[in-house]
Amino acid sequence: MGPASDSLLIRIPLRENLARLKDGMHIYATNAALSIEAQITRGGFHTLGIEAARKINGAYHWDDKIRIQVTPMELPVVISVIMGWIPLCQFKHHGEDKNKGFEIKHQRTNLYVALEEKDRGGIGVPVSPSDAFGLAALATRQLCANHPEIDARLVLELCKSTTARMIHAKQG
């Protein structure tokens, strides 16, 4: 980027742009779909709710969906996967009965998001680069809302320098 582009970036407040994002998105695949929404937990934490539904006979069955809510401890790790800083995350023990979980994998050409519930199996959906961009922006906005005193760029740098490095150290 040249000097004109750099100065333009400085003049556009990132936090204001993140605040204008939609509150959710749908991602449709051949056999299933995801609904991802900005949510606030009972404790006041801004996070993501993720729902997955199977497609049967040409229709998505949202009445038989699997639903989870990303926890405060999981959100920075989820962002690190979406951004490609770590290859995957897997979380279990969601839901009242602690029988649900989710996994997000960075697969080079796309993301893969899968939700599972005991005795019901899993529902997985590939996420295209353009949808991954929207998901990254939405997740970042939610994490920034929890830390209004910190610039959005610093929030992402903290995700990268803490979460990603700690997970790589565990695997090493």
Q: What is the pLDDT along the chain (172 residues), one digit of tens a residue?
A: 444 444 444 444 555 554 555 789 999 999 999 999 999 999 999 999 999 999 999 999 999 999 999 999 999 999 999 999 999 999 999 999 999 999 999 998 999 999 999 999 999 999 999 999 999 999 999 999 999 999 999 999 999 998 867 776 665 5
- Per-domain residue ranges of the chain: 20-171
**pTM attached to this predicted model:** 0.83
Sequence letter at residue 88 = L
Q: Which CATH class is domain 20-171?
A: mainly beta
Judge whether 70 and 78 are in contact, CB under 8 Å: yes
Count of C-beta atoms within a 10 Å radius of residue 16: 9
Judge whether 105 and 125 are in contact, CB under 8 Å: no
DSSP, residue by residue, 119-139: TTEEEEEEE-HHHHHHHHHHH
